Every structure is written in structure tokens, then in C-alpha cells.
Structure 1
Amino acid sequence: MGLRGSSACVKYLLFIFNLIFVITGVIILSVGAVIQGVYYKYEHFLDNRFFSAPALLIAVGTIVLIISFFGCCGAVKENHCMILTFSALLGVIFILELAAGIAGYVLEDAAVEVINKRMNDSMVHYRDSPEITIVWDSIQKEFSCCGTNNITDWGVVYKNESLPDSCCASFLHTQYSCNVTMAEEHHIRSCHVAVQESVIANAVTLGGVGVGIAFIQLLGIILSCCLAKSIRKHYESV
């Protein structure tokens, strides 16, 4: 005998929620992967804390797609045990998503100090490390910036008025190399500020997605608990 009235309504609401649940899993997985990719572009300027939050979102998104099976099957078959399992797993996911979301907001505060220090530390290796050279040139071209805070930072590397060619607006200099005196040519924006803004924007997105979707999952926990309770009452009355 199937469920009746409001219980049946909860059953179908839970089934519909599971479809939404799958979509949120894809969103979580995608956002985590995209932000992880962005952070890897700046891996020389960030520490491990910045990679843990998006990695957690990727893991949560994958788990969400797997456990949605329990919710769908439990709702369709009216299986009390599967629905309780689904509800318990949702509770774990809820906690993990909140953790990832909060971590995203915490990273926003840590970004300023970490990025500034790591940029200054890596800059001194610009001329002796091909990897650092590529990273700095890429950042300065992408954000049209020069130096950690300003162009004078490169004095530590060149010991004169020279600048990396990536500091200049035009990269087709044939007679002259980029230098401090080329006021109309070189970038004036701080790379520290540019990278910091990008990292913080992604950290806020990370936090918003984690916390926002966590509360959507909370609705699923409530619905699954209501359905499990209805199923139990139904079979106890039979």
C-alpha cells in the first residue's frame, strides 16, 4: 500500500528535490574546479590554505552526485532505511559545504598578507628561475601591472632602472628595453592589488556557493525526515 495525501506530496517533493540536488552537485563541482584552476595560476603567490576550500567543494560535488541515488530510490520505493541514509548523508554534506563556504570567506582576509609576502619573495628569483620568470611575465601581461606594489620593486632584481619587458604596454621594443624612465610605456598598476582582487573575488564566490547551497540541502534534510516519518507511521498502522 502506498502513501496517501500529504505523505505522498512529501514523497514527490523529495523526488523533485533530488533532481535539483543533482544540479547543485554539478554546480558545486564546477565552481570548485574553476576556482581551483584560477588559484593554480597564482600558486607561487598563495599557500595551501587557498587550495583546500575549492578541493573540498570538488569532493562535496562528487559525493552529492553519488548520494542522490539514495534519495531518488528511497523516495520512489518508499524505503525507510534508504531515506534515513540519504538524510544522514545530507547532514554530513551540509556541514562540509558550510565549512567550505566559511573557509572561502576566511581566505578573503588572509589574501592580502600572503600574496604580498610571496610576491616579494618570488620576485628576487625572476632572473634565475625560468618558472618564476614565466609566472611574473604572465601576471604582468594579464593584469597590465608592474611589480608587487609599484615599478620600483624591480630595483631589487635589476639594481638599476631596468624593468621586465612585460611591464611595458608595448612588447615590440626593438631599440630600447623597458625601463623606469619610459613613463608612457610601462604599466603603473600594482600586481599585488590586481592578483589580490582576483583571488578575493573567487574566495567570495566560493563562500557564497558553499553557504548558499548548504541551506538548499537543509531543505532536503527536512523533506527526507518528513517522508521517513510518514513511511514509518504508515507501516506501523498496517
Structure 2
Amino acid sequence: MESCGMNVIKYILFIFNLIFAISGIGIIAAGACVLADVGDFTHFVEGRILAPPIILIIAGAIVFVIAFLGCYGAIKEHYNMLIAFAAALLIIFVIELAVGIAAAVFKNDFSMVMKDTLKESIKNYTEADRMAWDNVQKKLQCCGVDGPNDWSSSNGFTSSFPASCCAEDMQVICQQGSSKVYRDGCFEKLSMRVHKGATVLIGVGIGIAFVEIAGIILACCLATAVKRETDAK
């Protein structure tokens, strides 16, 4: 016969897993939003920046599947399934922790790497670079790496900027000294965009980490209670 305490833990764990399944969808949505936001600027952003949201999407999908494993194990009071559920949560927690540490370590040299990439792109300025700069300057309403002077004649350019540097129709010539030229540099705006995405990922990661720890504790408590009752029979 089930003890009252075991019954309470079982249904708490079941409800927890329903919430956990919903949070898995939330993780996928958060990762997809950040990936879509930063993914527009892949020409200037290293692959390592795109890795965390991709990993978060994968983790969200796994969380969603694992939540159903936990629900089934809780209702059926299946000891092995509960232990497998707790172990799976622990593995996801360790992966998220490793990704967080890697992101924190890379954050120190991220800014310099991206700035060097932007400067190198202006220096080479191939057709692919031109398309990438038009994209980033139009979307972020910025001009050059640190400002419009990056497109000056001293750097080998003509007296006009790329049309995407101006808040005008693309057919209008964007002249130096024009009041329509964007004054902000793209490096600062791109950095802000990436850091905003990182903040979202960190916030979601921390929130889910606490949920995972609670899930591990509940699953272990129920598994222990199930084993104790089974051994007593």
C-alpha cells in the first residue's frame, strides 16, 4: 500500500514534469529567437557565438522528451525509469554548465575577435563583404566599424559611402558630410545585439538549471520510496 508521503511526491513529480515539458518548448523558442537575431550577421560573427543557442535548442528538445519519461516513471512508480530520468537531467545540467563556462571564457576575447573581423572585411571588401555590410548597416542603422570615417578616402574609398550607410532610398548617393549618414559604428551595435542574446540565454539557462535540480531531487526521493516499498513486500 502506498504511503501518503510517496503519493504526494509522485503527483508533485508528475505536475513538475508537465511544467518541465512546457519549459522545454520555452527553451527551444528562446534559442531559436537568439539564433534568428544573431544569425543575420554570420559573416561577422564566429561560429562559436552561434553554438550556445543551437545547443540550447537541442537541449530544449531533449528536455521535452525527458519530461514524458519522468511523467511515465512517476505514475507507474517505475524505479529504473525514475533513476534514468534523474541521470538524464543531471547530464543536461552538466552540459549546460559546460556551455555556460565556455561562453564566459570566450566572452573576454569575443569583442576583439569581432572587431578584427569587421576591420578585415572592410580592408578586403569583396562582393560577399559588400552584401554583408549592406545587410548589417541597414538592419542596425550604423555605418563602418567605429563610424562613417571607416569608409573615408584615407582608407581607399571614394567620396561616397555605401548607400546602406544613409537613411535614404538605396538609389540616392550617400555623400560624406550628409545629414542622413548613420553616425554610430556597427561594432558597438553588433556587440550590443550579441550581448543581449547572451543575456537571454544565460537567464533561461539559470532558470532551467534550478528546475533541473528540483527534478533530480524529486525523482531520487520517489525512486528511493519506491525501492523501499518494493523491498518491504
Percent identity of equivalent pairs: 36
Residue in structure 1 matched with residue 89 of structure 2 by the alignment: 90
Aligned pairs (5 A) from 1:44-55: 44-55=43-54
Do residues 217 (structure 1) and 212 (structure 2) align? yes
1:108 Cα deviation (Å)? Answer: 4.1
1:84 Cα deviation (Å)? Answer: 0.7
Residue in structure 2 matched with residue 168 of structure 1 by the alignment: 166
Cα distance in 2 for partners of 1:107, 1:207 equals 14
Which segment is superposed worse, 71-80 or 208-217? 208-217
Task: Specify the SS of the correspondent of 1:159.
Answer: coil
Residue in structure 1 matched with residue 141 of structure 2 by the alignment: 144
1:157 Cα deviation (Å)? Answer: 6.0
Deviation readout 1:26-84 (Å, 9 max, x if unpaired):
11111112212222211111112112111111111111111222211110011111101
Aligned-residue Cα RMSD (Å) equals: 1.8
Residue in structure 1 matched with residue 177 of structure 2 by the alignment: 181
Cα distance in 2 for partners of 1:87, 1:4 equals 22
Residue in structure 1 matched with residue 19 of structure 2 by the alignment: 20
Cα distance in 2 for partners of 1:205, 1:112 equals 18
Cα distance in 1 for partners of 2:32, 2:180 equals 37
- C-alpha contact 1:120 1:148 (8 A) present in aligned 2: yes
Cα distance in 2 for partners of 1:158, 1:181 equals 17
Do residues 40 (structure 1) and 39 (structure 2) align? yes
- C-alpha contact 2:164 2:170 (8 A) present in aligned 1: no
1:109 Cα deviation (Å)? Answer: 3.4
1:100 Cα deviation (Å)? Answer: 3.1
Cα distance in 2 for partners of 1:106, 1:54 equals 16
Task: Specify the SS of the correspondent of 2:180.
Answer: coil
- C-alpha contact 2:38 2:193 (8 A) present in aligned 1: no
1:180 Cα deviation (Å)? Answer: 1.4
Residues 110 and 204 of structure 1, relative CA distance in 2, 3 Å threshold: farther
Cα distance in 1 for partners of 2:29, 2:151 equals 38
Structure 2: which amino acid aligns with 1:23? I
- C-alpha contact 1:32 1:206 (8 A) present in aligned 2: yes
Structure 2: which amino acid aligns with 1:166? S
- C-alpha contact 1:141 1:167 (8 A) present in aligned 2: yes
Structure 2: which 5+ residue stretches go unaligned?
none
Counting matched residue pairs gives: 232
Structure 1: which 5+ residue stretches go unaligned?
none
Do residues 134 (structure 1) and 127 (structure 2) align? no
Normalised by the length of structure 2, the TM-score is 0.92
